[in-house]
Amino acid sequence: MKNVPITVAHGDGIGPEIMNASLHILKEAGARIDFETIEIGEAVYNKGFKGGIEDKSWESLRRTKVFYKAPITTPQGGGFKSLNVMVRTTLGLYANIRPCVSYAPFIDTKHPVMDVVIVRENEEDLYSGIEHRQTNDMVQTLKLISRPGCEKIVRYAFEYAKENNRKKVTCFTKDNIMKMTDGLFHKVFDEIAAEYSGIVNEHWIVDIGAAKMADTPEAFDVIVMPNLYGDILSDVAAQIAGSVGLAGSSNIGDQCAMFEAIHGSAPRRANQNLANPSGLFLGGIMMLVHIGQGDVAERAHNAWLKTIEDGIHTYDVYQEGVSKEKVGTKEFADAVVKRLGQKPEKLKAVKYNATVNKAATSTTSITSNTKTKKELVGVDVFLDWKGGKPDDLAVLMNKNATEGLNLAMITNRGVKVWPEGFSETFCVDHWRCRFTSKEKGKLVNHTQIVKLLEKINASGLDFIKTENLCNFDGEAGYSLIQGQ
């Protein structure tokens, strides 16, 4: 059988040590792979590449389509971009899979039967990095959630559950507050869940869901969630299972995939042969399954479980009275290699198919191409203004109202302050003035909006941005303000 080419990056901090240890185990287990090494991280940032990766490295990634990546150190300060976010989004790696398993009684945990897989959306939400300072007081980031984005990740979660004999998929969102963005994620979850009758589905509001997961993780199986919640809660899940140092992760797209540890480069532990290579190693196991070498993955993973069970532990999971031997990174890898061919006796042995993981290659069917009727019904004009009270602004803006458009209301940080605002409401210099059609039910056109902005500009007011108010098939495509 031909070897599969893989792009490898050794990263920063503890990265090179844990990558060498992981590759050593995978090779000794019989992985049929050829490595191409690229440089990423600190050294590349220092050469002036703002994303921490050189242009020539993309060629390797786009050709091999499989990236095995050690953690890197993200430089502090402005101007630099997160390499992880850039690789994930540029290569379309929309699904981030993070299994969080406890290994009691060998690794200390309050949750001895935990086995949760977090499926984190990887491309959207608050990670688009579209941020603006709009006024002296106010900065803004955009939370972007698309229907195709939701469909891809939710379908992936259900396909993953089906493929891996998981019984339940739970969705976490905050759609009681973010009714449009998280609301869409939840809606798509319900739609797709209906196609998988053999798998239980449920939805939790993320705050109480997170609390429940931290307290009773055995109540969950697969949990799918938007990017930010998934980022935070997968670290929580990994930590309560035993240690962030133990969790691996895969980032899957329709064409490419990336495999890594969930932890960072732990610079304080670097170059001391101390770090636990298990997270990156388990990312490597997911990589072998992905490229159809489940036989090798099974052999290596079971040897690793046996090593953990035999009490051969690195400093981060070592426990007096439970562990048998405290070892360094290299010695831990050697101990796993020594156990190749063995299976754990107390922990559950793993079993993988030798074929390519179907969930990783499942074609995503997108339903969002259905045409909707879009009608323009108004506009929100955002202003930078520090001229007085809301009523004063209303007087100014009413003067600017053009033919066909009426000032309907003014809000400050989302709170209605005109008409009939409360004097107690705290206001900053960032205002939203909502204009809607003068005649109820009459549509608005772009020319009217341009004229309105011309008048606002001529009156010396500083408009920051506008958001069009549209109905889609008659349903408001914007959040209503209280009282509207």
Of residues 278 through 297, those in contact with ligand NAD by CB under 6 A are: 279
Rounded to a whole number of angstroms, the minimum distance from the CB of residue 182 to ligand NAD is 25
Angle at 49 between CA 45 and CA 55, to 5 degrees: 125
Identify which range of 68-76, 152-160, 212-220, 341-349 contacts ligand NAD by CB under 6 A. 68-76
**Contact status: 73 vs ligand NAD (CB under 6 A):** yes
CB-based contact 250:287 (threshold 8 Å): yes
* Three-class secondary structure assignment of the chain: CCCEEEEEECCCCCHHHHHHHHHHHHHHCCCCEEEEEECECHHHHHCCCCCCECHHHHHHHHHHCEEEECCCCCCCCCCCCCHHHHHHHHCCCCEEEEEEECCCCCCCCCCCCCEEEEEEECCCECCCCCEEECCCCCEEECCECCHHHHHHHHHHHHHHHHHCCCCEEEEEECCCCCCCHHHHHHHHHHHHHCCCCCCEEEEEEHHHHHHHHHHCHHHCCEEEECHHHHHHHHHHHHHHHCCHHHCEEEEECCCCEEEEECCCCCHHHCCCCCCCCHHHHHHHHHHHHHCCCHHHHHHHHHHHHHHHHCCEECCCCCCCCCCCEECCHHHHHHHHHHCCCCCCCCCCCCCCCCCCCHHHHCCCCCCCCCCCCEEEEEEEEEEECCCCCHHHHHHHHHHHCCCCEEEEEEEECCEEEECCCCCCCCCCCEEEEEEEECCCCCCCCHHHHHHHHHHHHHCCCEEEEEEEEEEECCEECCCCCCCC
Q: Taking the complex as a whole, how short is the minimal distance between the CB of residue 263 and ligand NAD, in angstroms?
A: 3
Pair of tokens at residue 65: 């389509």
Site for ligand NAD in 177-216 (CB under 6 A): none
Terminal-residue alpha carbon distance, the chain: 66
Near ligand NAD in 3-22, by CB under 6 A: 14, 18
Please select the residue that binds ligand NAD; options are 84, 201, 323, 466, rule is CB under 6 A: 84
Judged by CB, which is closer to ligand NAD: 88, or 416?
88
**Which residues, numbered 299-318, are part of the site for ligand NAD (CB under 6 A)?**
316
Question: Which residue has the CB atom at the shortest distance from ligand NAD?
Answer: 264
Residue closer to ligand NAD, measured from CB, 2 or 268: 268
**Residue 119 or 266 having the CB closest to ligand NAD:** 266
Select 7 or 74, whichever has its Cβ closest to ligand NAD.
74
Residues contacting ligand NAD: total by CB under 6 A? 21
In the complex with ligand NAD, which residue's Cβ is closer, 206 or 238? 238
Taking contact as CB under 6 A, which single stretch among the options 47-55, 71-79, 180-188, 301-309 is the one that binds ligand NAD?
71-79
Please identify, using beta-carbon distances, which residue of 123 and 159 lies nearer to ligand NAD. Answer: 123
Footprint on residues 219-278 left by ligand NAD (CB under 6 A): 244-245, 260, 263-269, 275-276
Q: Which is nearer to ligand NAD, 268 or 371 (CB)?
A: 268
Q: 312 to 371, contacts with ligand NAD by CB under 6 A?
A: 316
Q: Which is nearer to ligand NAD, 21 or 427 (CB)?
A: 21
- Least distance to ligand NAD from the beta carbon of 11, Å? 6
Shortest approach of ligand NAD to residue 175 CB, angstroms? 28
Rounded to whole angstroms, the Cα distance separating 479 from 182 reads 13
Q: Minimum distance between the CB of residue 265 and ligand NAD, rounded to whole angstroms?
A: 4
Q: Which is nearer to ligand NAD, 102 or 239 (CB)?
A: 239
Q: Looking at 8, 31, 66, 72, which residue binds ligand NAD (CB under 6 A)?
A: 72
413 with 430: CB under 8 angstroms?
Answer: yes
The smaller minimum CB distance to ligand NAD, of residues 79 and 441, is found at 79
Distance in Å, CB of 97 to ligand NAD, minimum: 14
Residue labelled with tokens 């889609």: 472
Centroid of chain to Cα 6: 24
Least separation in angstroms between CB 75 and ligand NAD = 8
Largest CA-CA distance found in the chain, in angstroms, rounded:
82
Between residues 43 and 180, which has the closer beta carbon with respect to ligand NAD? 43
Q: How far is the CB of 281 from ligand NAD (least distance, A)?
A: 10
| CB 237 to ligand NAD: min, Å | 15
Beta strands in 353-394 (DSSP E): 374-384
CB-nearer residue toward ligand NAD: 25 or 169: 25
CB of 300 to ligand NAD, least distance (A): 18
Binding mask 367-406 for ligand NAD (x = CB under 6 A): ----------------------------------------
129, containing H or E segment: none
Site residues (CB under 6 A) for ligand NAD? 14, 18, 71-74, 84, 244-245, 260, 263-269, 275-276, 279, 316
